[in-house]
Amino acid sequence: MSNVLKGTIARYGIRPDTRSVLLRAFALLVCVSIWILPAGAQPAPAKSAVATAHPLATRAGEEILAAGGNAFDAAVAISAALAVVEPYASGLGGGGFWLLHEADSGRQIVVDGREVAPAAATRDMYLDARGNPRPGITMDGPLAAGIPGEPAALVHLAKRYGRLPLATSLAPAIRYADEGIEISRGIGMGLKFRAEAARKSPAFAALYLPGGEPRQAGATVRFRDLARTLQRLAADGHDGFYRGDVARRLVAGVQAAGGIWTRDDLAAYKVIEREPIRVQYRGATLVMVPPPSSGGVVLGDTLNILRAYDLASLPSVERKHLTIEALRRAYRDRAMYLGDPAFVSMPIERLLSPWYADGQRTSIRLDRATPSDNLPGIAPDTGGGTNTTHFSVLDKAGNRVAGTLSINTWFGAAFIPPGTGVILNNEMDDFSIKTGTPNGFELLGTAANAIAPGKRMLSSMSPTFIESPRGVAILGTPGGSRIISMVLLSAMAWMDGVDAEQMASLKRYHHQYYPDVVAYEEGAFTADEKAGLEARGHKLELSQRSFGNMQVVTWDRETGRVDAASDPRGGGEVTVY
Ligand code: DON
């Protein structure tokens, strides 16, 4: 840089005394710019760290970093490995959002590999002749599946951001699929839960339900078709999945079982790069995912409402009451306004403006819950599941990835097109199939999230970075509609000074506007807090569903310490080295 300056000085024949003033000014500028550089663009961490939901996925990430890959190569290796070792949660038949930070440039971007509705999809495709939802149809079988985005995202990540060839980063996953993996307790549980739907898919049943019964934990299964599909992707890139033999098999299998995919749908799939949403809160910047995920808007809206309260000085019951009230209002906006930006215009600037939050705060009372029905209703047509996965990676150059990937609920649509080994997603259930009809996560929606050909269904996936003078946190979790409140609680806890371990293990509670209940984990509230919340009119419901599987990496700039933590609720593993 200083050579550039010297060259400029020489070229324009600037006098020596003016030169020294300029050189001093330049030195000052460098110092100032180092001081004000965005949190992410500062010196590199001393260690790499990986946190994923499965030990073999963490090892795949480690292997690729050790082979000279960067965090983006590791993200490809981890995502592909998760497709094999956590087949009920994410995979080539699904999609996700990868939030990236490039250390060199400070550039941050969201790779949107969300599924899209096939061209033959229609707004009322899941309703019967009377306009009532047909049960199960958005959940099981190929009609429930959107066109997958994960394979395209992996190719994009490797090509655009990686240092290693795609084939190198896919190698661990191919090895796992080819050599086989042990059926974990998670897989066993998922199979029991999905057995009925899965029996209707011969290719799924042959792999997972030999003799009609779910495989038991401990058995080893080789995934030869999946290994072949991964090899095609490694050899031919994007076209290896979206055109040619794999595409032909996918479409043939889907159509033979009553699905509506075509070769054109696959050929048309494109990854989209999006600018993250950034919100400031208590001196930190949260870097989050924009629509078609609702994560960034709902988190931003919630934090904007909360920022006016001095939460630290309030009794804990009031703090929790206010958090619930903020979530109630932000999730209402999710239902009302959010969808795929290519199809709906959304008032995002308004939803994230301080004035909007001021307005929302006026209806919040400290002594009483606002019944959701008292909020402006969601306009009548303006117009359990438990799986998904998250990983967090930081490399020694300071590159970061937060990736949340999904096929939606346990084993997605429980359907494998023969000869592909690819479990299809059931993300079509994330659309609002009818205003007022809740989806599998009891979320409401309106026309903004109605089905249309080529449209991306609204997501709650929220891979997030928090950047503050203290350092950086990379986090996210599965959990359907609860993802956003889980990320919120852990983000606020990080800003209060907790470490990665505490962020991942924190006891959680949640409100999503509808149903008008506070779901909570045992331990999330003390007896006094429960009494205080109930006295304010909150309906508390001890959760039967698992509250996520958070993966966190933190880098403390003051101490230089790099930490990682995997949610004690799951079977994940971390590595820091
Ligand atoms: O995109 C979404 O919001 C959902 N498909 C995520 C599903 C999920 O997290 C299920 N996990 N427990």
User: What average pLDDT values come out for the chain (577 residues) when binned by 10 residues?
Assistant: 35 41 40 38 86 98 98 98 97 98 97 98 96 93 98 98 98 98 90 94 96 92 98 98 98 98 98 98 97 98 97 97 98 96 96 97 97 80 59 98 97 98 97 91 92 98 96 97 97 96 98 97 97 98 90 94 96 96
**What per-residue string of b and e applies to 111-122 under the rule 16 or more CB within 10 Å gives b?**
bbbbbbbbeebe
Using CA atoms, how far apart are residues 564 and 326, in angstroms rounded to an integer? 29
Q: How far is the CA of 98 from the centre of ligand 1 (A)?
A: 15
What's the alpha-carbon Rg for the chain, to the nearest Å? 24
- Please tell me the predicted confidence (pLDDT) of residue 174: 98
Q: Which of 391, 462, 483, 487 to mutate to test the pocket of ligand 1 (most atoms within 8 A of CB)?
A: 483
Of all protein residues, the one whose alpha carbon is nearest to atom 1 of ligand 1 is 459
- Please tell me the predicted confidence (pLDDT) of residue 546: 77
Using CA atoms, how far apart are residues 118 and 272, in angstroms rounded to an integer? 17
CA 87 to chain CA centroid, Å, is: 17
Q: Which of 391, 461, 477 to mutate to test the pocket of ligand 1 (most atoms within 8 A of CB)?
A: 461
Q: How far is the CA of 94 from the centre of ligand 1 (A)?
A: 11
Q: How far is the CA of 456 from the centre of ligand 1 (A)?
A: 14
Residue 168: count other Cβ atoms within 10 Å of its Cβ.
20
Q: How far is the CA of 481 from the centre of ligand 1 (A)?
A: 7
Q: Which residues, 6 or more positions from 224, have their beta carbon under 8 angstroms from its beta carbon?
A: 177, 178, 421
- Please tell me the predicted confidence (pLDDT) of residue 42: 59
Sign (positive or negative) of CA dihedral 306, 308, 311, 316: negative
Q: How far is the CA of 519 from the centre of ligand 1 (A)?
A: 17
Contact 328, 372 (CB under 8 A): yes
Q: Which of 388, 431, 462, 545 to mutate to test the pocket of ligand 1 (most atoms within 8 A of CB)?
A: 388
Of all protein residues, the one whose alpha carbon is nearest to atom 8 of ligand 1 is 480
Q: How far is the CA of 391 from the centre of ligand 1 (A)?
A: 14
| Residues having CB within 6 Å of any atom of ligand 1 | 385-388, 406, 408, 427, 430, 459-461, 478-480, 483
Q: Residue length, the chain? A: 577
Q: How far is the CA of 405 from the centre of ligand 1 (A)?
A: 8
Contact 461, 149 (CB under 8 A): no
Of all protein residues, the one whose alpha carbon is nearest to atom 11 of ligand 1 is 387
- The amino acid sitting at 44 is A
**What per-residue string of b and e applies to 46-61 under the rule 16 or more CB within 10 Å gives b?**
ebbbbbbbbebbbbbb
Residue 457 alpha carbon, nearest atom of ligand 1:
1
Which helix or strand (DSSP H or E) is residue 72 part of?
helix 71-85
Q: Which residues, 6 or more positions from 168, have their beta carbon under 8 angstroms from its beta carbon?
A: 64, 67, 69, 73
Using CA atoms, how far apart are residues 105 and 124, in angstroms rounded to an integer? 45
Residue 460 alpha carbon, nearest atom of ligand 1:
3
Of all protein residues, the one whose alpha carbon is nearest to atom 6 of ligand 1 is 480
Q: Which conformational region is residue 237 in: left (phi greater than 0), alpha (psi within -120 to 50 degrees), or beta?
A: left
Measured in degrees and rounded to the nearest 5, phi and psi for residue 385 equal -40, 160
Residue 478 alpha carbon, nearest atom of ligand 1:
9
DSSP state for residue 368 in the 8-state scheme: B
Q: Which of 116, 334, 408, 567 to mutate to test the pocket of ligand 1 (most atoms within 8 A of CB)?
A: 408
Of all protein residues, the one whose alpha carbon is nearest to atom 9 of ligand 1 is 480
Residue 425 alpha carbon, nearest atom of ligand 1:
5
- Please tell me the predicted confidence (pLDDT) of residue 185: 85
Contact 61, 393 (CB under 8 A): yes
Q: How far is the CA of 438 from the centre of ligand 1 (A)?
A: 14
Smallest CA-to-CA distance from 149 within 39, 270, 17 is with 270
Residue 386 alpha carbon, nearest atom of ligand 1:
12
- Please tell me the predicted confidence (pLDDT) of residue 379: 54
Catalytic residues: 388
CA 398 to chain CA centroid, Å, is: 21
Residue 546 alpha carbon, nearest atom of ligand 1:
12
- Please tell me the predicted confidence (pLDDT) of residue 277: 98
Using CA atoms, how far apart are residues 47 and 55, in angstroms rounded to an integer? 19
Q: How far is the CA of 532 from the centre of ligand 1 (A)?
A: 31
- Please tell me the predicted confidence (pLDDT) of residue 38: 45
Contact 434, 445 (CB under 8 A): no
Residue 477 alpha carbon, nearest atom of ligand 1:
9
